[in-house]
Amino acid sequence: MWDLLLAGAAWYLCGVVGFLYWWTEDFQADARTVAEALVFGAMGPATVLAGWLIHRVLLAGEPRELKPIRIRTDDDRRRPRR
């Protein structure tokens, strides 16, 4: 039963994050956009696919690139900087 609950939560979370990624500009979302993301989250990965298709076909733009996140660790502080 827990695996089904976790799969549903992952599906929903994928939809919410996908909506916020493809339908907002630089994740600057107001309350209405967050509410829409919570509603469209039920569509799961289909939200990501729809957003990608609309940006790729209708808007004729390149898909956005994910920016890498640099997480500093304790090892980084010990290494000498170049």
pLDDT tens-place string over residues 26-69: 666 778 888 888 888 888 888 888 877 777 777 665 555 666 66
Residue numbers of the domain that contains 10: 1-82
pTM summary value: 0.57
pLDDT tens-place string over residues 2-20: 888 888 888 888 888 888 8
Indicate if the pLDDT at residue 23 is higher than 70.
yes
Closest-CA residue to 22 (of 46, 42, 1, 52): 52
- From the CB of residue 69, how many other CB atoms can be counted at a distance below 10 Å? 5
Please give the backbone phi and psi of residue 41, each rounded to the nearest 5 degrees, phi first. -60, -25
**Total number of domains constituting the chain:** 1
